[in-house]
Structure 1
Amino acid sequence: MPEPWLRGSLVDVPAVARATLHALQLAEEDVTRWCADLTDIELNREPLGLPALVFHIRHLSRSLDRLLTYAEGHQLSVVQMAALGTEHTADIPSSVVLTEFSMSLAEAAQRVRALSTLNLEEPRYVGRKQLPTSLGGLLVHIADHTQRHVGEIITTVKVLKALRQPNART
């Protein structure tokens, strides 16, 4: 099956938001595919000093919420700031992490759709320093950032699976 952006889907959504939604769909498909047969221990492991998969997956879930908050023209809440500090928490069951990820993608898709008809040039501000960007810039960054972490997830899974082999170095 072709990647989401080649399926002719979401034609009711303007191009930039559609590309963002396709990136989120691809992320869910890739994470599901690559992490399906991993154990909780493997998801929490830091092979060869790489960040654990649970970090990447939790970071994706929570960063989507943060970036979309900025895209909506708001600043982060106390709850969002507190969640930021828990992304590196270890020993999280895969069912918890993957459910959080799936739910965050579904919520993010709704929020992207709600933003899809707004002017992409509208100014937005990120973080305490109020760094300037635009709504379009945030939507593109959401897609880029998501795919960057998915690439790291896939690479880490490949390392973990190689380490399953006898005589593999740790």
Structure 2
Amino acid sequence: MSDTKLPEVWLRGPLADVPALVQPVAHALLQSREELNELMTGFPETLLWEKLAGMASPGFHLQHLTGVLDRLFTYAKGALLSDEQLAYLAAEGKQDEGESVGSLVKAFNQKIDAVLQQLKTTDESTLTEWKGVGRAQLPSTVIGLYTHSAEHTMRHLGQLLVTVKVLKQGQL
């Protein structure tokens, strides 16, 4: 096995079958997946729902990362959220006995795979189309939703990184 660390995803070149204008979104989402998987490897189950200074737990961040991608990419298709998506949103941050670090990471990885498929089928001529967000149908565009999905994912990954590192440090 090689100890050579790969460059960040955006420095590895274009992704096959991903339209040029959404390459940065795909790069950011793939980078977040790599970092999240590395970060959560070996993370103790006992710390999954721990909060630091009243801030969100790792479990919340893992649920939210998956849920927000699902919701933003649904809006990008011009669809409203389903009852199932609304129920998932309401449950974010609530401990579910059936969830583990592994199951939450797996759900995130599967969502990244799904949204990458959506990016691959995106017609670049639709990127500036208006799309409504939420019940209020606040204005955005396909590219706005895709871009927000990337920056929002990286923001929560950063918060998760700090939370996980501090919680693990407390275990020493």
Q: So what's the TM-score if we normalise by structure 2?
A: 0.89
Unmatched runs of 5 consecutive residues or more in structure 2: 1-5
Superposition deviation, residue 29 in structure 1: 0.6
In the alignment, which residue of structure 2 is the partner of 1:133? 140
1:65 aligned partner: 70
What's the RMSD between the two structures over aligned residues? 1.5
Q: Displacement of 1:9 after TM fit?
A: 3.1
Within 5 Å, give how 1:21-60 maps onto structure 2. 21-60=26-65
Residues 76-126 of structure 1, C-alpha deviations (whole Å, 9 max, x = no match): 111111111111122531122111111111111111222253421111110
TM superposition shift of 1:18: 1.0
1:160 aligned residue (147, 167, 171): 167
Give the whole-Å Cα distance in 2 for the aligned partners of 1:11 and 1:96.
Answer: 28
Residues 1-40 of structure 1 correspond to what in structure 2 (within 5 A)?
1-10=6-15, 12-40=17-45
Task: Give the counterpart of 1:96 among 90, 96, 103.
Answer: 103
Q: Are the structure 2 counterparts of residues 116 and 58 from structure 1 closer, same or farther at C-alpha, using a change threshold of 3 Å?
A: farther
Structure 2 counterpart of 1:149, one-letter code: H
8 Å contact kept, 2:19–2:120: no
Letter in 2 for 1:29: E
- Contact preservation (8 Å) 1:56, 1:149: yes
Report sequence identity in percent. 36
Query: What secondary structure, in the 3-state scheme, does the structure 2 residue paired with 1:160 have?
Result: helix
Number of residue pairs matched by the alignment: 165
Residues 17 and 116, structure 1, Cα contact 8 Å, conserved in 2: no
Q: Determine the C-alpha separation between the residues in 1 that align with 2:19 and 2:100.
A: 37
Q: Counterpart in 2 of 1:117?
A: 124
Match of 1:168 in 2: none
TM-score, normalised via structure 1 length: 0.90
